[in-house]
Amino acid sequence: MQPTTTQHAPPSTSLTARQLAIAPVTAWAAVGDMPRLRTALEQALDAGMSIQEAKELLVQVYAYAGFPRSLNALGELMQLVDARRQRGVQDAVGREPGAVPTGDALLALGTANQTRLAGSPVTGPLFDFAPAIDVFLKSHLFGDIFARDNLDWQSREIATVGMLAAMPGVDSQLQAHMRISLNTGLTPSQLQQVVQVLTSQVDAASGARAQAALVRQLRVQP
């Protein structure tokens, strides 16, 4: 199953306001800064992000930053949505994801998604050493999560870049997701916009990590 939302957005020189709002949301969620997350979520909802899209971003946080960060972030979103409703703000609800397969079909789908996003089959000695993590990545991250079709892959990759840029010590994974972001159809100039929003709305360190990862990837990009 492929997500029914567009995987490769129409060519554009600039990200939308909704897309630009993604990285600050996931960055602050990943580091657990609830006051700044609330501000980022408010800005995202004001930019046209639906409640379901915001939920989906914060669910994805757990795959990179753990369940505690994700649960806390979802709680913050729940409180914010209620507060906005009490103020008379009617945010778009958005749609629930479609059904995702299970068992062997899920593993096959996740493997196909991972291969498509990475640009080639993902193998290596680490996965031979710890095959369980290979199965979890394929069946769960690229299956259960990336097969949920109420958030397009470009949005998921911007979200991932935001999370990884906010967390020190994951430079290789951040560069890998710069490559995957390019494979979804995001352009270098659009990723530069993500770097800029991380610098201006998160912090200089996050922006610098994202910038360095993008530069490294563009040097090796065919």
Assigned token pair, 82: 């209620």
Q: How far apart are CA 38 and CA 69, in angstroms?
A: 14
Assigned token pair, 20: 């630009």
Percent of the chain with pLDDT over 70: 95
Confidence label for 219 from pLDDT (cuts 50, 70 and 90): very high
pLDDT of 200 higher than 80: yes
Q: How far apart are CA 127 and CA 119, in angstroms?
A: 18
Q: How far apart are CA 154 and CA 163, in angstroms?
A: 14
**pLDDT, tens digit, for every residue of 151-183?**
999 999 999 999 999 999 999 999 999 999 999
- pLDDT of 222: 80
Mean pLDDT of the chain: 94
**Average pLDDT of the segment spanning 81-103:** 96
pLDDT of 2 higher than 80: no
Assigned token pair, 186: 């995001």
- pLDDT of 51: 98
**pLDDT, tens digit, for every residue of 6-51?**
344 444 589 999 999 999 999 999 999 999 999 999 999 999 999 9
pLDDT of 108 higher than 80: yes
* Dihedral, CA of residue 150, residue 153, residue 157 and residue 160, to nearest 10: 40
Assigned token pair, 184: 């979804």
Q: How far apart are CA 85 and CA 163, in angstroms?
A: 28
Three-state helix/strand/coil letters over the chain: CCCCCCCCCCCCCCCCHHHHCHHHHHHHHHHCCHHHHHHHHHHHHHCCCCHHHHHHHHHHHHHHHCHHHHHHHHHHHHHHHHHHHHCCCCCCCCCCCCCCCCHHHHHHHHHHHHHHHHCCCCCCHHHHHCHHHHHHHHHHHHHHHCCCCCCCHHHHHHHHHHHHHHCCCCHHHHHHHHHHHHHCCCCHHHHHHHHHHHHHHCCHHHHHHHHHHHHHHHHHCC
Read off φ and ψ for residue 53, nearest 5 degrees.
Answer: -65, -40
pLDDT of 190 higher than 50: yes
Assigned token pair, 107: 């593993």
Query: How many CA atoms, within 13 angstroms, populate the side-chain half-sphere of residue 186?
Result: 30
Question: What is the pTM for the complete model shown?
Answer: 0.93
Q: Which of 39-43, 96-100, 192-196 has the lowest mean pLDDT?
A: 96-100
